[in-house]
A and B are shown apart, each in its own frame.
Chain A
């Protein structure tokens, strides 16, 4: 009897190990033939997460496979992008991608764990213009009011935004330079925290994302947006360009794959993302929430990223000293 139990136990062990090993092994055939991991280089609940969740069922339909969302937060996204480089370039691992983060982090940090041109873009699908706003009871009615005040009181105007060497910070630095003024930048950790600091009156001016500004539009006055043409959900707000400041500022969201991914694979992914981006339902949802829908394919995305690198490299160099 004891012998029988011993033998059965050994067989059960062996069987379990075999079954587990088989399940773990991946299959390889036509792309895509297995689940795809969609990494979000931020924590859950953020804007990148919300977009990814909106796309997830549509991606599964387009590609015909399961799409698993995974979080790898840290360093403002840099930990996720650094880890993307170490994944196999077979198209089964993609990551969210954010500009200006992927441009500014390697420029400003020396060693962010990755280089901008190492991330292979698939597409861009969303833009969040950055705007400058004050509370509705503030004495500034237009951007020039603010600039005049700042000229007479250098350093006295407290501006909030999310992060250092982020889109908000760069917009702040560029505005200072273009308008010839000095203000004080007080960064917060994340967009939500910066909005809380602003609404609580701890900073007088905020460099904020269009969706946050749109959400609180009844309590604030937006002085300008960093877009080419006026921001569709809030068309009365002037653009920096129309006020004479050559300042374009927005946070763009897209997706990327590790370097060396075969072009046929990227093409399949690009088609799926662009189909979703061009879906009128999706576009309406984005505009309702205060985002700008965008549909940029792989080649356009590459050119766009390079143009941003060219634009910001001298700015970072100048302000970093």
Chain B
């Protein structure tokens, strides 16, 4: 069981502390607002920490081990997508992502039929959006440093 107020209070205090250290060389005009904010955050964090001791709110973060596993894997897939993006280019990375994520979310992942269905859908959806964005709307998309 996690004490919500203590977590929020301490995290905010840490953030305020880091920002304080990093902003000591700002000019008067650039720093005045930041300083006011740091004071406000400091005060409110202390109030939160106080609430954490006096009348805490407790929660269970993940409702089951399954949930935790799902979230972790989901985030990893997403992170891999973002890491690959600048290397192999937008189009290939997106195909892989849609394919992988679609399989992850479905049942009976390793059935050939589902694998091929994923691949096909990914090709169509990603390609259509890519063309709409890059050709029709003229938005440039990352090419992929490996290929340049």
Q: What residues make up the interface of A, taking CB atoms closer than 8 Å to B?
A: 2, 6, 9-10, 12-13, 16-17, 20-21, 24, 37, 68, 70, 88
Expressed in whole angstroms, the Cα–Cα distance for A37 and B95 within the complex equals 26
Shortest distance from the beta carbon of B65 to any chain A beta carbon, whole Å: 36
Expressed in whole angstroms, the Cα–Cα distance for A24 and B127 within the complex equals 12
A12-B120, A16-B123, A24-B143 provided; 14 other pairs, C-beta below 8 A? A6-B116, A9-B120, A10-B119, A10-B120, A12-B123, A13-B123, A16-B124, A16-B127, A17-B91, A17-B95, A17-B123, A24-B89, A24-B91, A70-B140
Expressed in whole angstroms, the Cα–Cα distance for A262 and B148 within the complex equals 18
Shortest distance from the beta carbon of B82 to any chain A beta carbon, whole Å: 19
Shortest distance from the beta carbon of B140 to any chain A beta carbon, whole Å: 6
Q: Which residues of B contact A13 (CB under 8 A)?
A: 119-120, 122-123
Q: What residues make up the interface of B, taking CB atoms closer than 8 Å to A?
A: 89, 91-92, 95, 112-113, 116-117, 119-120, 122-124, 127, 130, 138, 140, 143, 148
Q: Which residues of B contact A12 (CB under 8 A)?
A: 120, 123-124
Shortest distance from the beta carbon of A318 to any chain B beta carbon, whole Å: 16
Q: Which residues of A contact B95 (CB under 8 A)?
A: 17
Q: Which residues of A contact B112 (CB under 8 A)?
A: 6
User: Residue on A with the closest CB to B134?
Assistant: A24
- Contact yes or no, B91 A21, CB < 8 A: yes
Q: List 12 A-B contacts (CB under 8 A).
A: A10-B116, A10-B119, A12-B120, A12-B124, A13-B120, A13-B122, A17-B91, A17-B92, A17-B123, A37-B140, A70-B138, A70-B140
- Contact yes or no, A6 B113, CB < 8 A: yes
- Contact yes or no, B117 A9, CB < 8 A: yes
Nearest first, the 4 closest Cβ-Cβ pairs linking A and B are A9-B120, A16-B123, A13-B123, A13-B119
Expressed in whole angstroms, the Cα–Cα distance for A201 and B122 within the complex equals 58
